[in-house]
Amino acid sequence: MQTLPLRPSPRSVARGRGAVSIAVAVVAALVSAAAGPAARGQADVPREIVLWPEGVPEPRVPAEPAESVAKGKDGISRRANVSQPRLVVFDPPAAAAGAAPRGAVVVVPGGGFSILADEHEGSDACRRLAAEGLTAFLLLHRAPTGTMPVPNAGPVADVQKAVYEVRRRAHDFGVDPGKIALLGFSAGGQATLVAAAGPPRFTPADAGVSPRPDAALVIYPWRILADDGKGLRPEVTIDATSPPFFIAQCGDDPASLPAGAATLYLRLVEAKVPAEIHVYERGGHGFGMRPRENAPGTADWFVRALDWLRGRGILAAKPAP
């Protein structure tokens, strides 16, 4: 970068204050460009919204050991010891001021209720959804809860509170309060199902704001069958008031059995609830937003999910060519 003279030349003095003003403006522009986004503000840094500012209800996760993030041998980061549930907001790029309210998706990562797989089943999904024009919210729910008497109790309450807060503050986020979806992976899919089709786990301060989503997507939902394998979990009630569901699953998944996804789909059809299911031959479990070799369904599900969100009016239709 060329250094501007510290002292004005006789020529610039003769031109008066105008030349000095121009020089100052040039310096400011150059400094701003060299400094980059960090110096110009934090607009690109996702915001965090604490879900329970007045205290997390029971069951609580202890604050010690402290929350941490570690990268595994597969190169994917995972989060441990989340005692303060919160939402991370991913805004769509260059959202026009005064534009119509957008749809929103709250993303619920899996992790077996022991950790949060919040990169490939969380922030990766949020960035892709935001790029499509949605406001995405990554839910960092309580973990670990797997050894608690009811492992999903805390996460389900966090999911419902997340929907409630996004709807209650929809205007602040530029979101349409009637276009809020959940996207849950694995154990997050179980929490999503129970939150969307089960009783409230907390009492909303504003009874006029519902904690139930307008649509739900569950990707290889974990352990959603009853213990006897003859129906869905007892805390799940599918009826005419249930939100529409999108289900994606691989047939060779050893952790989330295809029978669970199929049972959920059939129950939705029986209750005349709009539903769509995709069962792919192979792909296993836990792929999230990272497609696997020789398993095209692990990439296809997200394309189909976007189509489904458009069909439900949560994502704007593609402009005509």
CATH topology of domain 48-311: Rossmann fold (3.40.50)
Ranges of each domain in the chain: 9-45, 48-311
Q: Which residues are within 8 A (CB) of 19 and not within 5 positions of it... i.e. 6 or more apart?
A: 8, 12, 13
| Residue ranges of the chain whose pLDDT lies below 70 | 1-45, 95-98
At residue 175, the pLDDT reads 97
At residue 1, the pLDDT reads 37
CA distances (Å), origin 154, targets 4, 56, 195? 60, 9, 11
Give the other-Cβ count within 10 Å of 75's Cβ.
Answer: 9
- DSSP bridge partners of 181: 105, 215
Helix (H), strand (E) at residue 34? helix 17-35
Which of 90, 196, 201, 199 is CA-nearest to residue 142? 201
Which of 53, 79, 49 is CA-nearest to residue 162? 49
Q: What is the DSSP string of 166-191?
A: HHHTHHHHTEEEEEEEEEEETHHHHH
At residue 91, the pLDDT reads 94
CA dist., res. 171 & res. 152, Å (int): 30
CA dist., res. 27 & res. 4, Å (int): 8
CA dist., res. 181 & res. 81, Å (int): 26
DSSP class of residue 146? T
CA dist., res. 71 & res. 81, Å (int): 15
At residue 22, the pLDDT reads 35
User: In this structure, what are the phi and psi dihedrals at residue 14, rounded to the nearest 5 degrees?
Assistant: -65, -30
- DSSP bridge partners of 90: 136
pTM to 2 decimal places: 0.85
At residue 21, the pLDDT reads 37
Instruction: Give the number of residues written for the chain.
Output: 321
At residue 98, the pLDDT reads 57
At residue 126, the pLDDT reads 98
